[in-house]
Amino acid sequence: MQEIFSLYGWKVNRYTPIHQGLINSTYSIQTNNGTYILQSINHSIFKSPSAIDDNINAISSYLQKNYPSYLFTHLVPTLKGNTLVQWKGGFYRAFHKIEGYALSVLENEKQVEQAAMQFAGFTSVLKNFETNQLKDTLKDFHNLNLRYHQFSEAIVKGNAQRINKTKEAISFLASHKKYVDVYSRFIKHAEVKKRVTHHDTKISNVLFQKKEGIERAICVIDLDTVMAGYFISDIGDMCRTCLCKFSEEEKDLNKVVVDAAKWKALEKGYLHFMKDELSSFEKDHFFYGGQFMIYMQALRFLSDHLNNDIYYGAKYEGQNLVRTLNQIRLLEEYNKLN
């Protein structure tokens, strides 16, 4: 690590890993002049780290010019002026640490509304930013047709023993293919627009701060999947991760319940910045956003389980199946809101 630190000219007092996200590794670096976040990019998933770097820099310049006070994780350049560092086969970048904390589950409606306002605010502040400047950092990331296709392959070519033991989950997901058809119609509709979309609005990707006893969401983080996309992606991952007090890791399915008041808060927070931006056809698909993402995540977790956990990894045998069953229950509970 010392070699990387010297590229930035940092005199490091202490560095500690931060356990955030399933994909990249992240460290908090305390130096003589401030604290930074150093993050490696998982190169086996993000094949083009420079696309991520270009996207974040393009947005960063736009915001600095047009909304200089918008709180954003601007990249920190090395002494040579690079914002992406290649070292021993790995890719790294640094951000100034923004004081705040991330939460993996939300306790109350106020937090949900605040978080939703941050994600909506992000898309909204960039509404005049040309989306064709953004590169696809993960091609077809939220393409539900592709995710269904990958699932269809996994249930044939995957680990035979696991396929046998997950018949019920497989048939649940196959019997809900209607969500794929809704997606296909949605993206073809003339009133549906691609905008700057975060694509990973899990609730731990919002930073909160407490000042004088008042808790506020202050900014969004983890911008690797920012690409042109559909608002249902962002609504969806919020629904998936903030309506229930227990995360996707929860094994006790009785704990997987959905809070209707939080859904209302999510809608209110999101529409605060996006109500004039979304078409009425899009607004009609607000609820579908949750179904779309919870369903897609269940497909992805089960496909990975059947493919021997090659994508998400597993800390214990069957972890991706636990996540799948959790998401299936979440979808069933979510549908009760309707």
Binding residue (CB under 6 A) for ligand GN1 from 113, 200, 267, 282: 200
- Please give the DSSP secondary-structure letter assigned to residue 192: -
Tokens at 171, concatenated: 């048939």
Q: Does 222 bind ligand GN1 (CB under 6 A)?
A: yes
Contact partner at residue 160 from Mg ion, ligand GN1, none, CB < 5 to 8 Å by partner kind: none
For residue 236, the minimal CB distance to ligand GN1 (Å) is 10
- What's the CA gap between 224 and 4, in Å, rounded? 21
Among residues 109 and 248, whose Cβ is nearest to ligand GN1?
Answer: 248
Binding residue (CB under 6 A) for ligand GN1 from 4, 8, 10, 23: 23
Using CB under 6 A, which residues numbered 288 to 307 contact ligand GN1? 297
Q: Which residues are registered as beta bridge partners of 229?
A: 195
For residue 2, the minimal CB distance to ligand GN1 (Å) is 27
Concatenated DSSP letters of 270-298 = HHHHHTTTS-HHHHHTHHHHHHHHHHHHH
Using CB under 6 A, which residues numbered 254 to 273 contact ligand GN1? none
Q: Provide the total of helices (H) and of strands (E) in the chain, helices listed first.
A: 12, 10
Q: Does 310 bind ligand GN1 (CB under 6 A)?
A: no
Binding residue (CB under 6 A) for ligand GN1 from 45, 160, 174, 310: 45
Among residues 78 and 150, whose Cβ is nearest to ligand GN1?
Answer: 150
Cβ atoms 43, 128 nearer than 8 A: no
- What's the CA gap between 30 and 15, in Å, rounded? 6
- What's the CA gap between 265 and 203, in Å, rounded? 14
Contact partner at residue 22 from ligand GN1, Mg ion, none, CB < 5 to 8 Å by partner kind: ligand GN1
- What's the CA gap between 148 and 303, in Å, rounded? 9
**Region near ligand GN1 per CB under 6 A, out of 16-24, 97-105, 256-264, 270-278:** 16-24
**Region near ligand GN1 per CB under 6 A, out of 7-15, 21-29, 152-160, 170-178:** 21-29
Tokens at 237, concatenated: 């991952």
Q: Does 174 bind ligand GN1 (CB under 6 A)?
A: no
Among residues 78 and 303, whose Cβ is nearest to ligand GN1?
Answer: 303
- What's the CA gap between 198 and 51, in Å, rounded? 15
Residue that is written with structure tokens 């042109």 in the block: 228
Q: Does 234 bind ligand GN1 (CB under 6 A)?
A: no
Where along the sequence are the contacts to Mg ion (CB under 5 A)?
A: 21, 200, 222
Q: Does 113 bind ligand GN1 (CB under 6 A)?
A: no
Residue that is written with structure tokens 């396929």 in the block: 163
Tokens at 53, concatenated: 């770097």
For residue 6, the minimal CB distance to ligand GN1 (Å) is 28
Binding residue (CB under 6 A) for ligand GN1 from 22, 260, 261, 310: 22
Contact partner at residue 45 from ligand GN1, Mg ion, none, CB < 5 to 8 Å by partner kind: ligand GN1
For the beta carbon of residue 40, count every other beta carbon within 10 angstroms.
18
Contact partner at residue 327 from Mg ion, ligand GN1, none, CB < 5 to 8 Å by partner kind: none
Query: With 0-12 CB in 10 A as exposed, 13-18 as middle and 19+ as buried, what is 215?
Result: middle
Q: Helix H segments across 160-259?
A: 160-165, 167-175, 178-188, 231-242
Binding site for ligand GN1 (CB under 6 A): 21-23, 45, 200, 202, 222, 225, 248, 297
